[in-house]
């Protein structure tokens, strides 16, 4: 069973990431919406795993088979993340620890904890939240980001520190989003995809709203009373590294958006309302992995190839290829072309990356 609210939120995440990446990589400008797409994308990977698990349990798939499929899928995503870094960015960026490697790691971890009591997963999320700043300090995060981007050496020490604490999306703290999504999915749907009660969804919205308010209060306090805080304290709202205020706010955002969207779209709206919008978001949601990979190829490869053709370093035009309005236009054009491409794939019954994953792993 498909849930339109999940399709809408996953599509929103893809749209935000496309717009942010086009604007950053082509125009060197970071839009204000940066930082809210990736957390939702990871959170929904945990929710989707809960729903996938419910479906396999209903079909009476053995626990051993579920473990094997989960592990294969996780390793597939990790390997795809490495391949993506090499082919889309540069070979020296293979260990950037991006979104795909994090989601793959999260899937392997979810397979390991899927039968754990819910309170243990919540406890793990809390510990990840609290330990992450300490680990970054111990690993000397600033030394890896001296140039404004993650720049490790090819050593075993840097590999593990990047994976755990200082990469783009390290396990600490980003693993808490798939774990949180799985926990909230279990709370919402149970272990047999039962229809959730409105009270559960509204409580989820309430917790999310409270966390967003707490984050806003913390940021406002730091801004209004800046002289009262030591200059050595980290900034109050940053994605790289993810500050405690940022994590609190984005956790609140994903909870509020998930509970609110499900309550409004799937419970209150008639199933046939906004049919065209539902069709569009279903297309993007079903092909979200393909869209994530494709949008990088479409806007980065031309930069690298044109620079080489002009006799420059491949990254010469990175962040200075065009202005903001052109970058936004190209992002919109890509999204429209992407929808048409996905519709063509469906009509022709051609596979995408998601089909390859299922064929290899299931």
In a domain, 332, yes or no: yes
Residue range 130-178, pLDDT digits in tens? 999 999 999 999 999 988 889 999 899 999 999 999 999 999 999 999 9
Would 221 be classed as within a structural domain?
A: no
Residue 67 lies in a domain: yes
Of 265, 257, 268, which Cα lies nearest the Cα of 205? 257
Asked, for residue 270, whether it belongs to a domain, the answer is no
Q: Decide if 34 contacts 309 (C-beta within 8 A).
A: no
pLDDT at 184 over 80: yes
pLDDT of residue 351: 92
Per-residue pLDDT, 275: 85
Confidence (pLDDT) at 196: 66
Residue 330: the pLDDT is: 97
Contact 335, 15 (CB under 8 A): yes
CA-only gyration radius of the chain, Å: 21
Domain-located, residue 261: no
Give me the percent of the chain exceeding a pLDDT of 90: 78
Place 92 in a pLDDT band, splitting at 50, 70 and 90. Answer: confident
| Average pLDDT of every residue of the chain | 93
pLDDT tens-digit map of 262-321: 999 988 888 788 888 899 999 999 999 999 999 999 999 999 999 999 999 999 999 999
Q: Minimum mean pLDDT among 15-24, 54-63, 170-179: which range?
A: 54-63
Task: Give the model confidence (pLDDT) of 218-254 as tens digits.
Answer: 999 988 887 887 777 778 899 999 999 999 999 999 9
Q: Alpha-carbon distance 137 to 139, whole Å?
A: 5
Inside any domain, residue 245: no
In a domain, 32, yes or no: yes
pLDDT at residue number 227: 81
* Dihedral Cα 276, 279, 284, 286, nearest 10 deg: 170
Please tell me the predicted confidence (pLDDT) of residue 159.
94
Confidence bin at 194 (pLDDT 50/70/90): low
User: Which two structure tokens, joined as six digits, stand for 94?
Assistant: 């293979």
Predicted pLDDT of residue 234: 76
Q: Does the residue 125 lie in any domain? A: yes
Q: Which residue has tokens 């806003």?
A: 216
Predicted TM-score (pTM) of the model is: 0.95
Largest CA distance in the chain: 63
Q: How does pLDDT run across 313-357, given as a tens digit for each residue?
A: 999 999 999 999 999 999 999 999 999 999 999 999 999 999 999
Name the residue range of residue 44's domain: 4-195+275-361
The number of domains in the chain is 1
């Amino acid at each position: 069973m498909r849930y339109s609210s999940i399709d809408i939120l996953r599509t929103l995440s893809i749209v935000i990431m496309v717009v942010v990446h086009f604007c950053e990589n082509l125009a060197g400008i970071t839009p204000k919406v940066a930082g809210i797409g990736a957390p939702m994308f990871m959170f929904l990977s945990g929710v989707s795993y809960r729903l996938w698990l419910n479906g396999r349990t209903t079909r009476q798939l053995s626990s051993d088979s579920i473990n094997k499929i989960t592990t294969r899928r996780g390793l597939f995503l990790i390997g795809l993340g490495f391949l993506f870094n090499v082919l889309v960015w540069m070979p020296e960026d293979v260990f950037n620890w991006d979104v795909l490697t994090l989601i793959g790691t999260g899937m392997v971890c979810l397979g390991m904890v899927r039968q754990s009591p819910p309170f243990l997963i919540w406890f793990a999320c809390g510990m990840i939240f609290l330990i992450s700043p300490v680990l970054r300090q111990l690993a000397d995060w600033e030394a890896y980001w001296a140039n404004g981007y993650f720049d490790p050496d090819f050593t075993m020490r840097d590999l593990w520190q990047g994976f755990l604490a200082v990469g783009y999306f390290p396990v600490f703290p980003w693993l808490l989003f798939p774990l949180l999504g799985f926990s909230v999915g279990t709370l919402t749907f149970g272990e047999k995809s039962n229809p959730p009660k409105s009270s559960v969804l509204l409580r989820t919205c309430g917790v999310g709203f409270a966390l967003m308010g707490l984050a806003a209060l913390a940021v406002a306090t730091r801004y209004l009373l800046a002289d009262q805080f030591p200059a050595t304290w980290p900034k109050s709202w940053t994605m790289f590294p993810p500050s405690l205020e940022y994590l609190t706010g984005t956790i609140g955002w994903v909870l509020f958006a998930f509970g609110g969207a499900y309550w409004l779209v799937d419970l209150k709206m008639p199933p046939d309302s906004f049919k065209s919008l539902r069709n569009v978001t279903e297309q993007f949601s079903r092909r979200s992995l393909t869209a994530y990979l494709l949008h990088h190829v479409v806007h980065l490869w031309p930069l690298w190839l044109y620079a080489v053709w002009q006799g420059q370093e491949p990254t010469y035009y990175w962040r200075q290829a065009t202005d903001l309005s052109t970058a936004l236009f190209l992002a919109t054009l890509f999204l429209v072309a992407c929808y048409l491409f996905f519709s063509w794939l469906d009509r022709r019954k051609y596979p995408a990356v998601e089909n390859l994953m299922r064929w290899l792993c299931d």
